[in-house]
Amino acid sequence: MQSTPYRWPWNGLFDMRDFALVVTSAMVANQDSGRITQNGRNQVRDFANTVRQAGALVVEVACSDPRITGVPWRTNDKFALSAGERFTDADIHIQSCGIDAFYSSPLEDVLNRSHRRLIGLCGTWFETSVHSTMREANDRGMECVAFHDISFCLNPQSKKNTISQIEMSGGIFGAVSTSTDFSKTFCNC
């Protein structure tokens, strides 16, 4: 698969039964809801369906930070996404109480119980939840790849810097690729 700064996975061993797609759905303030087009949502949903059909586990995590106050969350402060706000019909929908998907959530247990150590990441927001979740997964010994084409930035100008942070030091947190390259390489699409 085409990826930077190294060929993912680093050891060249890939089995879809070891792969999980983690889609972060960070809480969206009303003024930010228009930043993701319907086409972008469809791309995430279609990719999730493709990898699921190929044998991957798809987990969508509603990420939030309950310490933030005064922000008009679309979820009426319940910190859970309704079916209409989700990106996917994931195998598992869980809730995180922080910016990253692991914070105060069962994500690590879900991934460990299903023996998923190869992790693909996408969703909202690339520079916060996707990036933080990638670092946390790496700290837990998982091999990560971020799909930049289906990871949406709260600040579109930060995308280049977010990718650069992942690639620096030889990819200490993982690699960066696209959902298209992944599908062509591993899903026979």
Q: What is the pLDDT of residue 83?
A: 52
Query: Is 93 strand, coil or helix?
Result: strand
Q: What is the pTM of this model?
A: 0.89
Sheet bearing 19-26, strands edge to edge: 92-95, 57-63, 19-26, 118-124, 143-152, 175-177
- Per-position b or e across 161-188, b if 16+ CB within 10 A of its CB: ebbebbbeeebebbbbbbbebbbeebbe
Residue 12 CB-half CA count within 13 A: 0
Phi and psi at residue 20, to the nearest 5°: -130, 135
Q: What is the pLDDT of residue 26?
A: 77
| Opening angle at CA 2, ends 141 and 50, nearest 5 | 80
CA-wise closest residue to 103 among 79, 84, 77, 127: 79
Q: How far apart are CA 66 and CA 88, in angstroms?
A: 23
User: What domains, with CATH codes, occur in the chain?
Assistant: 16-186 (3.40.50.850)
- Per-run averaged pLDDT (10 residues), the chain, 189 residues: 94 96 78 69 94 96 63 41 70 89 94 98 93 96 97 90 91 95 89
Q: What is the pLDDT of residue 81?
A: 53
Q: What is the pLDDT of residue 183?
A: 96
How far CA 152 is from CA of 40, 44, 127, 179, 180, in Å, comes to 8, 10, 8, 13, 16
Query: Is 29 strand, coil or helix?
Result: strand
Q: Where is 108: in which H helix or E strand?
A: helix 107-113
Q: What is the pLDDT of residue 189?
A: 59
Q: What is the pLDDT of residue 120?
A: 98
